[in-house]
Amino acid sequence: MARTTPEIPNASMADIAFLLLTFFLVTTTMPNNSGLSIALPPPPEATPPDEVKIQERNMFKIQVNSSDALLIEGVPREDISDLKEEIKTFVLNNGRNPESSDTPEKAIVSFKTDRGTSHKRFIQLLDIIQAAYYDIYAEQAGVTNAKFREAASDLSIPQNKEIYDKGRAGIPLNISIADPTKVGN
């Protein structure tokens, strides 16, 4: 007597696969990571370049070479633990120190790299610069840095917009990211 192998009915497999696919598509949430939040300049043809004269004292210069070595205000540095506080002091100088910025509106943090600078170093320094501004905004709004960042992430809520506007009042986020220079130039 020959034994027959039992068969698995597969007529409804396509229906089950479709239902599973639909279930996962409906229940999955997509993260809203949009990358770096940097306001890009308009295309070159949109506006003619204006001749802008910026006083040297209103520029806080950060430069990184292709070896990730750092120059802050022309001085070589390895330790960046106090860089955020230096930026905050520079921006909020209000003309007290004649070597530093006139007003927060005129203060610009200039960030320049070489083509060989690592992405890690670039992002690390950009985060420090942005954190300095966010600390200033949070202090001005009278909230914690975390609360200000939370408010800035969803401006459709009126309370968040109020915190954001209060923090940003009179202090623009002036970060100049220069085009990278070629290694060796």
The tens digit of pLDDT for each residue in 42-90 reads 676 766 666 767 778 888 999 999 888 899 998 999 888 999 999 999 9
Mean pLDDT over 124-139 rounds to 91
Confidence of residue 129 (pLDDT cuts 50, 70, 90): very high
State both tokens at 95. Answer: 């003309």
pLDDT tens for each residue of 165-180: 898 888 888 888 888 8
| Percentage of the residues of the chain whose pLDDT score is greater than 90 | 22
Report, as an integer, the average pLDDT of 29-54: 68
- For residue 109, report the phi and psi dihedrals to the nearest 5 degrees: -100, 115
CA 32 distance to own-chain centroid: 15
DSSP 29-78: PPP-------PPPPPTTTSPPP-----GGGEEEEEE-TT--EEETTEEES
The per-residue pLDDT for 15 is 87
Percent of the chain clearing pLDDT 70 (strictly above): 87
Can you give the pLDDT at residue 170? Answer: 85
Regarding pTM above 0.75, the answer is no
Q: Cα separation of 174 and 109, whole Å? A: 6
Q: Classify residue 113 by its DSSP letter.
A: E
Residue-wise DSSP of 135-184: HHHHHHHTS-HHHHHHHHH-TTSHHHHHHHHHHHTT----EEEPPPBPTT
Domain assignments of the chain as residue spans, ordered by start: 56-177
Work out the pLDDT band at 126, boundaries 50, 70, 90: very high
